[in-house]
Amino acid sequence: MRQHDQQSSPFETATTVIGYVAGAIVAFFGWPAVFAGSIATVEAYAATHYAFVPSSLLTGFWGLLILFGLFGVTALIVTLAIQLTLKAAGRL
């Protein structure tokens, strides 16, 4: 983790912001498709292995897991791609 007394370049800050914005957009628009395509499988598996877990709890947890997973993975990939591009161009 960075120290508070160190200054980050404007390129690093912009890269992080762009990564977060891209992650939020992908999570917002991609979440319904991924959730709808996977919830039936998750519920079937949970019904046979974890019958004591309420369906509403399982659905909510799975939805949050997909939402945060999409956000995190997208933000990471976009941020790293931009940083590698900037390093190759000699800007970072």
Within 10 angstroms of residue 11's Cβ, the number of other Cβ atoms is 15
Asked whether residue 34 is assigned to any structural domain, the reply reads yes
Asked whether residue 76 is assigned to any structural domain, the reply reads yes
- State yes or no: pLDDT of 17 exceeds 70: yes
Asked whether residue 11 is assigned to any structural domain, the reply reads no
Within 10 angstroms of residue 72's Cβ, the number of other Cβ atoms is 12
Structural domain harbouring 82: 24-87
Asked whether residue 17 is assigned to any structural domain, the reply reads no
Domain count, the chain: 1
Asked whether residue 12 is assigned to any structural domain, the reply reads no
The per-residue pLDDT for range 27-67, each reduced to its tens digit, is: 999 999 999 999 999 999 999 999 998 999 999 999 999 99
Confidence of residue 92 (pLDDT cuts 50, 70, 90): low
pLDDT value at position 9? 78
Asked whether residue 35 is assigned to any structural domain, the reply reads yes
**What 3-state class would DSSP assign to 55?**
helix
Confidence of residue 8 (pLDDT cuts 50, 70, 90): confident
